[in-house]
Amino acid sequence: MRVLVFGKTGQVACELARFDDVTNLSRVDADLSDPLACAQAIRKHAPDAVINAAAYTAVDSCEDEEAIATIVNGHSPAAMAQVCADLKIPFVHISTDYVFDGQGTEPFQPSDPVDPLNAYGRSKLVGEQGVAAAGGAYCILRTSWVISAHGDNFVKTMLRLSEMRNALSVVSDQIGGPTAAAAIAQACITIAAQLREQGAAISGVHHLSGAPDVSWAELARAIFTLKEREVNVTDIPTSKYPTPAKRPLSSRLNCLKLTQVYGIERPDWRQNLSDIISELDVTTQDQTTERKPL
């Protein structure tokens, strides 16, 4: 199965690049701010399946640049989905828990009402609506709290800060499931293959997040424990860490439908986190070796 992936340097895109028969498109190859260019890229490569792992993910910046975020996260995925529907090939689109209002304590079901709190969530919702409206074989895969050894994410931020400080204040009233980019990538490949076999009959919206659900503060403590760093983590409420874009208090996602339809279980983020830290350790060691004088 020849898979075309929108995205090259993002966390999930980097993991998808590790699979055979995957072609990753960078911003140079396909400008996400130009829906027509995205559609033309699919027609040019004529793949067996398409995965959209690219997005405008700077949540706070979206507040000031909602128009461009809506094109990148909304109109371009819709254009991709329409071409895939025309060519009768499956389309997998990665979305976010930010389409919900983040209220309550029960995990959000894929069918629950959406009500984004911020511009990023609104832009991603436009994309979901466009993908579904295209009428092809598709999967909208909502996920949360993506972590990996690539790019910018919470794990790497905590590790960097712990090199300079032995005490940190971390938000404890936001709850969600940390999700390894590698797990998302594997799910996307599995979903694309099954969509190719069964078509629109299994199309729909699904959730994937790591288990068990935790707070950011609890995740921070797990990171420092694995890394064997003595860092005192103080729990603070979201109100003590204001950001331009409002964050959901609950990012809990019910992932049962994904298991029922595609046979994909929730990944254990604790094992994934151990793998990520091991990969970062190897990368750091390699870089240190490269810098040694001859």
Which residues are identified as catalytic? Answer: 120
Which has the closest alpha carbon to 181: 201, 206, 151? 151
**Residue with the two structure tokens 């396909």:** 30
Task: Give the C-alpha distances (Å, rounded to integers) separating 157 from 73, 147, 160, 164, 226.
Answer: 25, 11, 5, 11, 15
Strands, E assignment, 159-230: 167-171, 175-176, 179-180, 204-208, 214-215
Q: Is 26 left (phi over 0), alpha (psi -120 to 50) or beta?
A: beta
Q: What are the structure tokens assigned to 209, written together? A: 């997040």
The answer to whether the beta carbons of residues 99 and 121 sit under 8 Å apart is yes
- Report helix, strand or coil for 34: coil
CA distance 231 to 217: 12
Q: What are the structure tokens assigned to 294, written together? A: 């001859």
